[in-house]
Amino acid sequence: CCARHILSNQPDFFDIKLLIQEIIEAKGHKVIFYPKFYCKLNYIEMYWGAAKWYAHQQCDYSWTGLQRVVPLALDSVLINHIRKYARKSA
């Protein structure tokens, strides 16, 4: 715990990127790390919440009903809402 904290704050460790970050950035994409389990900073949680609300309203609470409604729920969230969530969380 303490040793990891001390090492992670050293300049030679602090500036090192994770391998996954290097690979993704080499492909021309941005990498953004959010704090774990903090939904106000992660727009995917807002998107998932909107999809869950749709599923809650449309599902008959059977397994087959859930399998049918989940893809519809994910597609029900409009792209402009997803963009709004992304702007709000940035």
Instruction: Give mean pLDDT, residues 28-37.
Output: 81
Confidence at residue 16, expressed as pLDDT on a 0 to 100 scale: 76
Q: Are 16 and 22 in contact (CB under 8 A)?
A: no
- Token pair recorded at residue 78: 């409009």
Residue pair 86/43 in contact by the 8 Å Cβ criterion: yes
Q: Where are the domains of the chain?
A: 1-33, 34-90
Task: Retrieve residue 27's tokens.
Answer: 């492909």
Residue 62's pLDDT is what?
Answer: 94
9-28 per-position pLDDT tens digit: 777 666 678 899 999 999 99
The burial of 48, by beta-carbon neighbours within 10 Å (0-12 exposed, 13-18 middle, 19 or more buried), is given as middle
Q: Which of 52, 53, 55, 41 is nearest to 85 (CA)?
A: 41
Structure tokens at 70: 């989940």
